[in-house]
Amino acid sequence: IPRGFKRHLPKIFRKKRKSPLPDTVWTCFVPTWHQDGLRFFVKKAQRVTLKDKGIPNWVMDEMKPQITVKDWYFNVDNSHYQLTVNLLSADRQILQDYCKMFEVRERVPTVEEWREVSYTFENYPSGVRYVDFEHRVGWRSS
């Protein structure tokens, strides 16, 4: 764990009134730490198979419903957050993608908050069968 980050762990992971999730919904994951130069980051990834979620191929090809993705990140000093979402074909080729990155230079000391990132895919090509997500949060080593 990068130096300087340990002081944020209790703030980020304890239950707070400002949590973005309802009291009945709590999820956890064990992050994998990576290092890229002077930056440390954690990432989590998920692939959603639309057919397994009950969405037939013809619906994706003919009706092309909106696909909305939402994610949350915690506002931490000197950090960056990145969300990458790919719509994939049956052979896992990228048909459309979205990538958003936020830099947090200095957090206001009294503001400890979760922030939501949301994006809606519309008018995407036919053939979408999977949705891939990757959430990354990184910190510069001090």
What is the Cβ-side half-sphere exposure of residue 101, based on CA atoms within 13 angstroms? Answer: 7
The answer to the question of residue 29 being in a domain is no
The answer to the question of residue 126 being in a domain is yes
Residue 36 burial (10 A CB sphere; 0-12, 13-18, 19+): exposed
The answer to the question of residue 51 being in a domain is yes
The answer to the question of residue 57 being in a domain is yes
Of 102 and 55, the structure prediction assigns the larger pLDDT to 55
Which CATH number covers residue 101? 2.60.120.260
The answer to the question of residue 134 being in a domain is yes
The answer to the question of residue 52 being in a domain is yes
What pLDDT score does 73 carry? 76
- What's the structural domain count of the chain? 1
Range of the domain at 88: 41-139
Per-residue pLDDT tens for 76-120? 667 778 899 999 999 999 999 999 887 766 655 545 577 788 899
The answer to the question of residue 25 being in a domain is no
Helix (H) and strand (E) counts in the chain: 2, 7
Task: State if pTM tops 0.85.
Answer: no
The answer to the question of residue 104 being in a domain is yes
